[in-house]
Structure 1
Amino acid sequence: MVWLDNGILRLGFLPAAGGRLLSVVLRGQETLWRNSALLDAALHPVSGQRIEPHDGPMSAWSNYGGDKTWPAPQGWSGPGEWAGPPDPVLDSGPYRWETRRDPSGAAVITLTSADDPRSGLRIEREFTVSPGESAYRVRLVATNTGAEPVRWALWNVTQRAAGDPGGGGVWVGVDPADPRTVELAVGTGAPTYDLAGAGVIAVPHQDVVGKLGFPTASGWLAHAAGGSTTTQVVEVDPAGEYPDEGSRVEVWMEYPLDHPLPHLDDLQPSSRIVEVEVLGPLVDLAPGEATELTFRCATARGESPVRAVAEAGHWSAVTPHGTGGVTASFHAYVDGVLLLADDEQILGETRAGEPTELVVSRALLGRPVVVREHVTARNVPAGRLPQEEPA
């Protein structure tokens, strides 16, 4: 195991298991799902298990959990589709790794796969953890190391423990004029969803094995369960061609079944899991060429419905307050002072990884906000105070 720790977040990597990020701990609270049948609490193999490359049908997959990167599209019908997991190189093979500290004080780890003869790719995963933040940044690179042109998209998959039906779930920012979804990899069914406001789709926890894709995703998603919310923000390419019927973001849900699913290669889920997935566009790569995808992942306590995600934190839906104003909850990723951006009116103090409850006048809703960091005095964008939603 390799660990990066800034005193707020502690990230644990297992390079031997496909370069996985297997632990993200926020002040003592684990936020990723990992498979306790394969790994113990210290992230060591349990008795009788070995971490080694493996292949075969999906029923043979050693799903360790955590966060990993694969090529897309997934499929088993030809060489232009990635026939995994399992996969002996990109998913379960050992990754080389190195760490460094950059001039800002951030800790950086780079994990690099072997050259994969099936896809023609080598995948590099770089994680950066900066001081004072409950967030980290990810840079993914896929390089064509083969002798022939290939066409792939980068696909990052993060597994978190799901809650029981009726609480929490996933929120995805979408084009408010076109909030489409597509059904993908239906096991027992496709997850149901609701419009949670202008430009936000909510996918509640539910008993289903299946996936939704979001072709008009605006670039952010959030998952709330187990007392915390994890968000991811990725830049989307409006002109890009994305795999899986144009999906820029995908959400997979599963729950324990007492029987395998023959049409999914005998997959038989044993846990409640949510996968939040971000994708890059499909890119034609000549030998030696590379494609890159970057995104930021952040975590804060609380499970309130998410309405917007910014660099400094995420906002929950506002609710009426007895004073005639509204209550707004801001879940911060940096320490500082929350200010109105235009006149610097102070709204409250923030602590990285923690929520700040505000009671504000309705006249302030929709105005831009920043967090002025305590250490650097930098103004970090915090979006806008959310508007009230129709009753």
Structure 2
Amino acid sequence: MTALWLGNERLRLGFVPELGGRLLSLQRDGTELLWRDPTLFTPALEPRGEVGPNDGDMGDWVNYGGDKTWPAPQGWSGHGEWPGPPDPVLDSGPYTVDTARGSVTMTSAPDPRTGLRLTRHFALTATGYTLNLTATNVSDREVRWALWNVTQFPGGGEVLVALRDHPNPVVDLIAGTANPRYELSAGSARVPPQEVVGKLGFPGAAGSLAYAGVTFTFEVDPAATYPDEGSPVEVWLEHPQPEPIAALGNLNPPAHIVECEILGPLTDLAPGEHTSLTIEVVA
């Protein structure tokens, strides 16, 4: 398993295509910004032992860390929900890779459970990078999915979510140990650092999300339908527990982690059709 690096004077991006097309390192002026499991990888992204595709229940998930793309909605009740992570194809399976000057494109294998093939295209910019995501229906049936990009950071900071006028701008989605606290002000929501396992959704998201000096911008379509009570943005917080959380499939959080999650709209896809999401990242 070999890491692939892309960089300029300020930024250095490290990819591991063989593990779900992950961006596993984002360094700014030599400082690592992303969270990854240090027991599984060296700073050079060399595996410490055996890593590879992973499946099973939530408690079986090997959380490598970094930035990855999943399909939404998540769930375990039927074909219209993605029952991961873990997932041996989209989350942790090998992606093919193409490189060009200043860009990396990683593409998954066809996933029989969702009918999708995911493509992740990273291109350096003067201030960060652009991430273009595509989900293509490669099955022989119609499917309905949204793109869902998940970036994991070390905990301890605050998340800022830009808001537009909305009757219900923030919703509680998951209370693993409790619902995360948040504070509203004019045009934004602040999620302070806290020791909780849980998730917030932001139906009122306006297209900007920031954490640890990294800002994500993206388009939000107010007329579209988004997963999880209409949330184009979600924030998941976790910290180590004395024992796995039974209500979350025996999930065993490995560290203090903040997930910044950006979702595209739910889209009906006939065979051969695709949906896309573009995220501009300033770091």
Pair 19,177 (structure 1): closer, same or farther in 2 beyond 3 Å: closer
SS at the partner of 1:244?
A: helix
SS at the partner of 1:185?
A: strand
In the alignment, the residues of structure 2 paired with residue 237 and residue 175 of structure 1 have an alpha-carbon distance, to the nearest angstrom, of 11
Identity of aligned residues (%): 56
Pair 172,179 (structure 1): closer, same or farther in 2 beyond 3 Å: farther
In the alignment, the residues of structure 2 paired with residue 53 and residue 141 of structure 1 have an alpha-carbon distance, to the nearest angstrom, of 21
Shift of 1:38: 1.2
Higher CA-based Rg: 1
1:65-115 Cα offsets, whole Å, 9 max, x none, are 0000000000001110000000010001000001112xxxxx011000000
In the alignment, the residues of structure 2 paired with residue 15 and residue 270 of structure 1 have an alpha-carbon distance, to the nearest angstrom, of 23
Pair 178,3 (structure 1): closer, same or farther in 2 beyond 3 Å: same
Quote the residue 2:110 is aligned against. 115
Quote the residue 1:186 is aligned against. 175
In the alignment, the residues of structure 2 paired with residue 27 and residue 293 of structure 1 have an alpha-carbon distance, to the nearest angstrom, of 28
Which consecutive aligned stretches of 4+ in structure 1 deviate over 3 angstroms post-superposition?
176-179
SS at the partner of 2:24?
A: strand
Quote the residue 1:158 is aligned against. 151
Shift of 1:297: 1.2
In the alignment, the residues of structure 1 paired with residue 154 and residue 166 of structure 2 have an alpha-carbon distance, to the nearest angstrom, of 32
In the alignment, the residues of structure 1 paired with residue 168 and residue 7 of structure 2 have an alpha-carbon distance, to the nearest angstrom, of 38
Query: Which shifted more, 71-80 or 170-179?
Result: 170-179
TM-score with structure 1 length normalisation? 0.71
TM-score with structure 2 length normalisation? 0.97
Quote the residue 1:233 is aligned against. 217
Quote the residue 1:144 is aligned against. 137
Which of the residues 36, 39, 42 maps onto 2:38? Answer: 36
5+ residue gaps, structure 2, are: none
Shift of 1:177: 5.4
Contact 1:33-1:66 within 8 A present in 2 as well: yes
Quote the residue 2:249 is aligned against. 265
Aligned length: 281
Quote the residue 2:193 is aligned against. 205
1:97-136 equivalence runs, <5 A: 97-101=97-101, 107-130=102-125, 133-136=126-129
SS at the partner of 2:175?
A: coil
1:289 equivalenced with 2:282 (yes/no)? no
Pair 26,156 (structure 1): closer, same or farther in 2 beyond 3 Å: same
Which of the residues 147, 163, 178 maps onto 1:174? Answer: 163
Question: What is the alpha-carbon root mean square deviation over aligned residues?
Answer: 1.0
1:276 equivalenced with 2:265 (yes/no)? no
Contact 1:98-1:110 within 8 A present in 2 as well: yes
SS at the partner of 1:59?
A: helix
* Amino acid aligned to 2:120: R
Pair 179,199 (structure 1): closer, same or farther in 2 beyond 3 Å: farther
Contact 1:256-1:268 within 8 A present in 2 as well: yes
Contact 1:26-1:134 within 8 A present in 2 as well: no
Shift of 1:134: 3.3
In the alignment, the residues of structure 2 paired with residue 50 and residue 240 of structure 1 have an alpha-carbon distance, to the nearest angstrom, of 42
In the alignment, the residues of structure 2 paired with residue 297 and residue 158 of structure 1 have an alpha-carbon distance, to the nearest angstrom, of 11
* Amino acid aligned to 2:259: E
In the alignment, the residues of structure 2 paired with residue 6 and residue 176 of structure 1 have an alpha-carbon distance, to the nearest angstrom, of 38
Contact 1:90-1:113 within 8 A present in 2 as well: yes
* Amino acid aligned to 1:222: A
Shift of 1:54: 1.7
Shift of 1:176: 4.3
1:1-391 equivalence runs, <5 A: 1-46=3-48, 49-101=49-101, 107-130=102-125, 133-163=126-156, 168-176=157-165, 178=167, 180-195=169-184, 197-224=185-212, 229-299=213-283
Contact 2:166-2:204 within 8 A present in 1 as well: no
Contact 2:73-2:145 within 8 A present in 1 as well: yes
In the alignment, the residues of structure 2 paired with residue 25 and residue 71 of structure 1 have an alpha-carbon distance, to the nearest angstrom, of 27
